[in-house]
Amino acid sequence: MMSRVPIFPTCCIFAVLFVISGLAVAAEKVKYKLIFPEHENHYVQVEASFGDCGPQQQVFMPVWTPGSYLIREYARHVDSVEASDAKGTKLAIKKVNKNRWQVDNSEKQSSFTVRYRIYCNELSVRTNFVDSQFALLNGAAVFLTRNESSEQEHVVAIELPSQWKQAVTALERRVELGANIFVAKDFDELVDSPIVAGNPNLHPFTVGGIEHFLVNLGDASLWDGDKAASDVAKIVAEHQKMWGQSPYKRYLFLNVIAESGGGLEHDNSTVLLTSRWSFRSPDRYNSWLGLVSHEFFHTWNVRRLRPKVLANYDYEVENYFEELWVAEGVTSYYDDLALARSGFNSTRKHLEDLSKRIRSLQNKNGRLKQSLALSSHDAWIKFYRPDENSSNTSISYYNKGSVVAFLLDIEIRRATENKKSLDDVMRALYEKYALKEGYSNADVLAEVNQITGKDLSEWFDRAIYSTEELDYQAAFDWLGLKFVVPSSGEEATKAAANGPIWTGISTKTEDGKTLVSSIVESGPGFDAGINVDDEIIAVNDYRVSSSLSELLDQFKGDKEVELLIARRGALSKVKLKMETRASSIWRVELVKKPTVEQKKNLATWLHQPEKKK
Ligand SMILES: [Zn+2]
């Protein structure tokens, strides 16, 4: 089904803009006009008008956007900045730091306008993209503002290129003013409301009495939008049920189909980037549903229920906090769980996904170096800036956070004899802290203790603040799960002996060369002194052609092999120990003969109806 949002011809826009100026919208409001005279060359032009300005008024652009914890320096894409007063007379404007400008308004006109151009050629959920077909604009990367205006209304008028029919955003549309005029109640809402424009297809659906839209933008020709919307509706219903309340009046899934990936959460919308082929491949479509599930869960967890530090954003510096394992890890846990609970994923598929997460954690040396709390704190310099050594020194708060959330959920269920779960903890946290001052890790622990009636501080400290190994046994025993191959013991040794050669090095092929791309600390390659960027030319004097691992397999059983390598143009030889490792060590499956209790616990966890005999 196509759009139900009224579409106005773009020729009305000029009149509407005039009306806005003529109305002299209360002076304190910030008004923006977005135009696209050079959209085919990736540019948007912005006019930002401010009232009640001081004599040396500073304006700034955020350096990061909530949900993506990296200083992105959005101002680096801004050029041609100029300022003028209400009469159109030019005012001096100068850069005072990387993201701030100062307007010389010493004549004390009450208002001025800053005009600038932004180069938009980074197709991601936290940056801007504009081309001949569509625009994806993120508030933090578009709108200059000033500290004095943060609580005021921000009005955005968008003048679309003639080939585009519509702009879509979660911002309130002022229909009385025109099709593409929107209002944010403050700067936070403006930043939190990405805008897409072009020729989108809108697929509306209602869940819990609330209107939602799947907005397909880009090449939607291979997508059945109505089918996708009906699947999204099931996920929405699952999350609404879990949280027990829906804190929004209207929600947009802005699905940009443009051969890219990723998602970013907002209060009343999300931006999803995907491929035109995602609808055709069951696996890719399942991943897209997982992305939908993840971003939509954030509507509660991290958008409204926030860590204390994020209760009020500082848009110009890093905001440090230790709770990303809740914001992202718990969300990652529920994105999968909701797919299993709503029938998209079988128990087997759910356990495969759980296995991947556990395997990814257990195979990273970084788990022994960085705690979950530290991983969160250092997201700005580590998680968002990975390099070839990252897996040796850091972990992902998404990944370990989701594994810890799983273990915590089962710990709560065990402690309360299945009467309570992490669902109850999240709902209780939401009641206490959402849209208020926010929570800390200590508040989460207090809630867990309150709900279980036990003191889980030792468990919590180990999982969140230490680098000790996680203990899976209790949770697995309770659910009737096991690792296919145990991590130690006779069976593990036997499986390792039959496993593939393990070098601890990863390679990539460039111009026909086999180059080392990363090395596992203390693995055979690391111990042999192999470096990242070394070219591996030969094994035991046989040239590496297509696959290094295939060639190494020919020498399985040997204690070591000799590698010929090239490093910065010089040849040398190194000895590599031949080790084997079980490949399925961290794979989770159901035990063969689960007890009645285990069956019941598994069914309760996945919300499966109990099977009658
Ligand atoms: Zn997330």
Cite the beta strand spans of 41-111 per DSSP E.
43-50, 56-60, 78-85, 90-91, 93-97, 100-104
Residues 216, 133: Cα–Cα separation, whole Å: 13
Q: CB–CB of 4/202 below 8 Å?
A: yes
- CA–centroid distance, 294 to ligand 1, in Å, is 6
What distance in angstroms lies between residue 13's CA and the mean position of ligand 1's atoms? 36
Distance 262 CA to ligand 1 centre (A): 10
Residue percentage of the chain with pLDDT more than 70: 94
Radius of gyration of the chain (CA): 27
Widest CA span in the chain: 86
CA of 442 to the centre of ligand 1 (A): 22
Label residue 610 by pLDDT band (50, 70, 90): low
Q: What is the pLDDT of residues 299-310, one digit of tens each?
A: 999 999 999 999
Distance 400 CA to ligand 1 centre (A): 14
> Partners of 566 in the beta sheet?
535, 571
Residue linked to tokens 């509706």: 233
Identify the band that residue 179 occupies on the pLDDT scale cut at 50, 70 and 90: confident
Whole-Å CA distances, 17 to 8, 23, 153, 177:
14, 10, 17, 8
**What is the rounded distance in angstroms from the CA atom of residue 583 to the CA atom of residue 388?**
22
Most confident of 20-29, 110-119, 579-588: 110-119
Mean pLDDT score of the chain = 93
How many whole angstroms from 230 Cα to the centroid of ligand 1?
A: 22
Q: If you measure from the C-alpha of residue 310 to the centroid of ligand 1, how many angstroms do you get, rounded to a whole number?
A: 15
155 SS3 class? strand
Burial zone of 333 (CB within 10 Å; 0-12 exposed, 13-18 middle, 19+ buried)? buried
Q: How many residues does the chain have?
A: 613
Lowest mean pLDDT among 1-15, 110-124, 289-303, 309-323: 1-15
Q: How much distance in Å is there from the Cα of 554 to the middle of ligand 1?
A: 43
pLDDT digits 0-9 by tens, 82-104: 999 988 999 999 999 999 999 99
Residue 520's pLDDT band (cuts 50, 70, 90): very high
Ligand 1 center from residue 113 Cα (angstroms): 36
- What lies within 8 Å, CB to CB, of 31 at 6+ separation is 20, 25, 48, 49, 154, 155, 156, 157
Task: Determine the distance separating the centroid of ligand 1 and the alpha carbon of 469, expressed in angstroms.
Answer: 25
How many angstroms does the Cα of residue 297 sit away from the middle of ligand 1? 8
What are the tokens at 328? 């992202």
452 Cβ neighbours under 8 A, 6+ residues apart? 411, 412, 415, 416, 420
| Yes or no: domain 324-481+589-605 corresponds to CATH 1.10.390.10 | yes
Ligand 1 centroid from CA 597, angstroms: 34
Kindly give the distance from the C-alpha atom of residue 327 to the centroid of ligand 1, in angstroms, as a whole number.
Answer: 7
**DSSP label of 75:** G
Average pLDDT over residues 118-143: 98
> Distance, CA 396 to ligand 1 centroid (Å)?
12
Distance (Å) from CA 612 to ligand 1 centroid: 38
Q: Nearest-CA neighbor of 276 among 324, 235, 217?
A: 217
Query: Please, where in the chain does CATH 2.60.40.3650 lie?
Result: 12-198
> Rounded to a whole number, what is the distance in angstroms from the first to the last CA of the chain?
44
pLDDT of residue 611: 65
- β-pairing verdict for 43-50 and 250-257: unpaired
Mean pLDDT value across residues 190-213:
98
- DSSP-assigned states of every residue in 244-298: S----SEEEEEEEESS--EEEE-SSEEEEEE-GGGGTSHHHHHHHHHHHHHHHHT
Return the H-helix or E-strand segment holding 603: helix 596-605
CA of 328 to the centre of ligand 1 (A): 5
Q: Tell how far the Cα of 382 is from the centroid of ligand 1, in angstroms.
A: 17
4 CA distance to ligand 1 middle (Å):
30
Beta bridge partners of 561: 576
Distance from Cα 261 to the centre of ligand 1, integer Å: 13
Ligand 1 midpoint to CA 166 (Å): 28
Class of domain 12-198: mainly beta
Which residues, listed in sequence order, are joined to residue 307 by a DSSP beta bridge? 439
The two tokens of residue 200 are 């989108």
Q: How far is the CA of 234 from the centre of ligand 1 (A)?
A: 20
CA of 295 to the centre of ligand 1 (A): 6
CATH no. for 500-580: 2.30.42.10
Task: Identify whether the C-beta of residue 522 lies closer than 8 Å to the C-beta of residue 500.
Answer: no
Residues 6+ apart with CB under 8 A from 265: 67, 295, 298, 299, 302, 303
Q: Residue 22 above 50 pLDDT?
A: no
Instruction: Kindly give the distance from the C-alpha atom of residue 1 to the centroid of ligand 1, in angstroms, as a whole number.
Output: 29
Cβ-count burial 163-183 (b if 16+ within 10 Å, e if not): ebbbbbbbbbbbeebbbbbbb
pLDDT band at 77, cuts 50/70/90?
very high
Read off the pLDDT band of 27 (50, 70, 90).
very low
Closest alpha carbon to 268 in 290, 253, 255 = 253
The Å distance, Cα 329 to ligand 1 centre, comes to 8
Tens-digit pLDDT profile for residues 215-272 = 999 999 999 999 999 999 999 999 999 999 999 999 999 999 999 999 999 999 999 9
Q: Write a three-state SS string for 129-148.
A: EECCCCEEECHHHCCCECHH
Strands 542-543 and 535-539 turn out to be antiparallel
| Residue 244, C-beta contacts closer than 8 angstroms, at least 6 positions apart | 427
| Cα(301) to centroid(ligand 1), Å | 9
pLDDT of residue 612: 57
Phi, psi of 333 (to 5 degrees): -60, -45
Taking alpha carbons only, the member of 364, 365, 382 closest to residue 373 is 382
Q: What share of the chain is helix, strand, coil (3-state, %, to 5)?
A: 35, 25, 40
**330 CA distance to ligand 1 middle (Å):** 9
| 400-414 residue pLDDT tens | 999 999 999 999 999
Amino acid identity for residue 175 in this structure:
V
435 CA → ligand 1 middle, Å: 18
Q: What is the dihedral of CA 84, 85, 90, 93, to 10 degrees?
A: -60
3-class state of residue 374 by DSSP: helix
**How many angstroms does the Cα of residue 332 sit away from the middle of ligand 1?**
7
**CB atoms inside a 10 Å sphere around CB 109:** 16
Q: What separation in Å is there between the alpha carbon of 398 and the centre of ligand 1?
A: 8
Ligand 1 centre to CA of 286 (Å) is 17
- Ligand 1 centroid from CA 265, angstroms: 7
Distance 91 CA to ligand 1 centre (A): 43
pLDDT for position 11: 34
pLDDT of residue 15: 34
Cα 320 to middle of ligand 1, angstroms: 17
pLDDT digits (tens, 9 = 90+) for 358-399: 999 999 999 999 999 999 999 999 999 999 999 999 999 999
- Taking the C-alpha atoms of residue 115 and residue 94, their distance in angstroms, rounded to an integer, is 13
At the top level of CATH, the class of 203-299 is mainly alpha
Q: Tell how far the Cα of 311 is from the centroid of ligand 1, in angstroms.
A: 17
Distance 67 CA to ligand 1 centre (A): 7
CATH 2.30.42.10 region(s) of the chain? 500-580
Q: What's the token pair of residue 421?
A: 């779960």
**Ligand 1 centroid, distance to 250 Cα (angstroms):** 20
The helix (run of H) or strand (run of E) holding residue 404 is: helix 399-415
How far away, in angstroms, is 373 Cα from ligand 1 center? 16
Question: What tokens were used for 517?
Answer: 């791309």
For 326-342, write each residue's pLDDT tens digit: 999 999 999 999 999 99
CA–CA distance, 488 with 470 (Å, rounded to integer): 15
Mean pLDDT of 541-567: 95
Question: 229: CA distance to ligand 1 center in Å?
Answer: 21
Could you tell me which of 466, 433, 314, 441 has the C-alpha nearest to residue 380? 314
Q: DSSP letter at 305?
A: B
Q: How far is the CA of 107 from the centre of ligand 1 (A)?
A: 47
Q: Separation of 264 CA from ligand 1 center, angstroms?
A: 7
CATH 1.10.390.10-classified regions of the chain:
203-299, 324-481+589-605
Tokens of 81: 């900045």
